[in-house]
Amino acid sequence: MNTARILLWSPCVRCLAPFARTTRLQAVLSTGGLAHRGLGLSSSGVQVHRAFHVSSRHDKKQDLPSFVKESEKDGDKDKSLVVHDDLFERTGREAKNKGTFNKAVDVFNKRDVRRRGHVDFIYAALRKMPEFGVERDLAVYNKVLDVFPKEVFVPRNYIQRMFNHYPRQQECAVQVLEQMENYGVMPDEETRVLLFQIFGEKGHPVRKYQRILYWFPKFKHANPFPVPHQLPEDPMDLARFSLTRIAGDLDSKVTVYQMPYTDITEAGEEVEETHIVGIQSPDQQSLLAKHNPNKPVFVEGPYPLWLRKTCVYYYVLKADPVPPEEKVEEYIDPELVGPQQSIHYPLWVEMDLTRDMGDDFSFDVDEVDEGAIYGMCMAGRGDQITLSRWIAGLQETNPILGRIPTVFRLESGPQELQDLTEGQRPTGEDTEAEHRTEPDTEEEQQQMGGQRMKQ
């Protein structure tokens, strides 16, 4: 009981310490029996390597891990990281990959039997992982954890077990696990064995490991629409994947309206034509067939779709909502569905009774009429010429499109797929100019600019 309370206390103290380090607090700490705090020790916070068994606690002030945001105000810490960063930079000069990363770790391991400065090294390694592209590699995490010296941090008696034994090391290991968690890397048996060897059975890192192991499997399939880590490279495949993802109808069919190719014009210029991939479901086809040909259909876009860190853009073919007065009730011959039929059992019964309130479990849903969407496409370029090729392709399966005026409502949009990491923003398309070249079509321009596409 007493132990538990003290354990409860210690984190509170830790969070209070930076704000109110009053004498009273010190008094509480000292009266609380925490006599052997290593107050004077390692106050620099740079070389945290204290002699073993000297202390299980040290001053909170210096306990903050060096990678934490405050690091900029603490020049010393940075210095140490820079040393280790250099190690990575040096080894990774030729190529930054798993091999060179492992090499850097090996170099550090061999440098000193005592692994002096391993905590800082591990923080540096964690920071460098994405750069080397190993942030999702379990083996690398295990290797990083392996840098910790074994057995020395395992508490040997109940007092050590009670108080945060080697907090900085534990914190560091927790940080490794934290990064694994953030990248969705599931620790394995080897991780567990390592943590056991380093921190013993009940250390904070082991707890963290157990928590990850508890929650990760539960949430592994929480997303019913998972996006793979590795997206297809080919823009056509990517378009196919994204379109089926949006469409949400298992019947819808993806059609490639144009393959990318290079054409040489009469003037001798090379014109690169991009891919056009579209999707349409049978339902959309039949809806489009029923469209009133006097009303225009609109090609709208580009709309963004995010797939992890990639953003792709798509265009839709849609109509305005049908005003209520123009809705046509579909005629059903009462003879064919009436109550006395047997070929087709009656679709309704003539009765003056409605559902009883006690059995009416329907919700009151406010339905907002939206214009029907007849199809979607993705193209390498979002200009009107490219998109009108899509419409022309659609016309083959939907002959009615030949009679319906098509209006392009395009915002100046991106041309290419974007990658967040590259941070490039596509140049806006001057659709307006192109619209003017075609006076026949009705024009409608929404001058929203490319701002909406902001990442």
Partner 1 sequence: MSLNRIFVLSNSLKVGRRLIRPGVGQTGKEVLSHLQLQRSFKTNSRNLAYAKDLFLGKVNTAEVFPYPEIANEELEEINQLVAPVEKFFTEDVDSKRIDHEAKIPPETLNGLKELGLFGIQIPEEYGGLGLSNTMYARLGEITTLDGSIAVTLAAHQAIGLKGILIAGSDEQKEKYLPKLATGEHVAAFCLTEPGSGSDAASIQTKATLTEDGKHYLLNGSKIWISNGGFADIMTVFARTEVVDQDGQKKDKISAFIVERAFGGITSGKPEDKLGIRGSNTCEVTFEDTKVPVENVIGEVGGGFKVAMNILNSGRFSMGSAGAGMIKKLIGLTAEYASTRKQFNKKLTDFGMIQEKFAIMAMNAFVMESMAYLTAGMMDRPGLPDCSLEAAMVKVFSSEGGWVCCSEALQVLGGLGYTKNYPYERYLRDCRILLIFEGTNEILRMYIALTGMQYAGKILTGKIKELKKGNVGAVFDILGTKLRQSFGRPQDLGLTGKDGVVHPSLTASTKKFEENVVYFGSTVENLLYRYGKTIVDEQLVLKRVADVLINLYAMTAVLSRASRSITIGLKNHDHEVLLANTFCSDVYFKNNFMMSQLQRNSPENNDADIKKIAQQVLENRAYICSHPLERTF
Binding interface with partner 1 (CB under 8 A): 186, 213, 216-217, 220-221, 250, 332-333, 335-337, 339-356, 358-359
Q: Which of 178, 76, 86, 69 is nearest to 126 (CA)?
A: 178
Give the nearest distance from C-beta 361 to partner 1 in angstroms: 9
Q: Residue 138 or residue 162: which is nearer to partner 1 going by CB?
A: 138
Q: Can you say how many angstroms the Cα of residue 333 is from the centroid of all Cα atoms in its chain?
A: 53
Q: Residue 356 CB, nearest distance to partner 1 (Å)?
A: 5
Q: Could you tell me the smallest distance in angstroms from the CB atom of residue 184 to partner 1?
A: 12
Nearer to partner 1 among residue 306 and residue 348 (C-beta): 348
Q: How far is the CB of 218 from partner 1 (least distance, A)?
A: 8
Question: In angstroms, what is the minimal distance from the CB of 353 to partner 1?
Answer: 3
Q: Which residue has the tokens 């490039």?
A: 424
3-state DSSP of the chain: CHHHHHHHHHHHHHHHCCCCCCHHHHHHHHHCCCCCCECCCCCCCCCCCCCCCCCCCECHHHCCCCCCHHHHHCHHHHHHHHHHHHHHHHHCCCCCCHHHHHHHHHHHHHHCCCCCCHHHHHHHHHHHHHHHCCCCCHHHHHHHHCCCCCCCCCCCCHHHHHCCCCHHHHHHHHHHHHHHHHCCCCCCHHHHHHHHHHHCCCCHHHHHHHHHHHHHHHHHCCCCCCCCCCCCCCHHHHHHHHHHHHHCCCCCEEEEEECCEEEECCCCCEEEECCEEEEECHHHHHHHHCCCCCCCEEEEEEEEEEECCEEEEEEEEEECCCCHHHCCCCCCCHHHHCCCCCCCCCCCCCCCCCCCHHHCCCCCCCCCCCCCEEEEEEECCCCHHHHHHHHHHHHHHCHHHHCCCEEEEECCCCCCCEECCCCCCCCCCCHHHHHHHCCCCCCCCCCCHHHHHCC
- Supply the minimum distance, in Å, between the C-beta of residue 423 and partner 1: 35
Supply the minimum distance, in Å, between the C-beta of residue 249 and partner 1: 11
In the complex, the smallest distance separating the C-beta of residue 357 from partner 1, rounded to whole angstroms, is 10
- The residues near 250 (Cβ < 8 Å, ≥ 6 apart) are none
Nearer to partner 1, 261 or 348 (CB): 348
Residue 270 or 350 with smaller CB distance to partner 1? 350
> Greatest CA span in the chain, whole angstroms?
97
Could you tell me the smallest distance in angstroms from the CB atom of residue 66 to partner 1?
32
Q: Which is nearer to partner 1, 213 or 307 (CB)?
A: 213
Rank residues 359 and 367 by Cβ distance to partner 1 and give the closer one: 359
Q: How far is the CB of 362 from partner 1 (least distance, A)?
A: 10
Nearer to partner 1, 213 or 322 (CB): 213
C-alpha–C-alpha distance, residues 269 and 264, integer Å: 6
Phi and psi at 280, nearest 5°, equal -155, 140
Q: With respect to partner 1, which residue has the nearer C-beta, 158 or 361?
A: 361
Q: Which is nearer to partner 1, 220 or 403 (CB)?
A: 220
- Considering beta carbons, is residue 9 or 216 the nearer one to partner 1? 216
Q: Which is nearer to partner 1, 1 or 357 (CB)?
A: 357
Q: Are the CB atoms for 121 and 147 separated by under 8 Å?
A: yes
Kindly state the smallest distance separating residue 337's Cβ from partner 1, in Å: 6
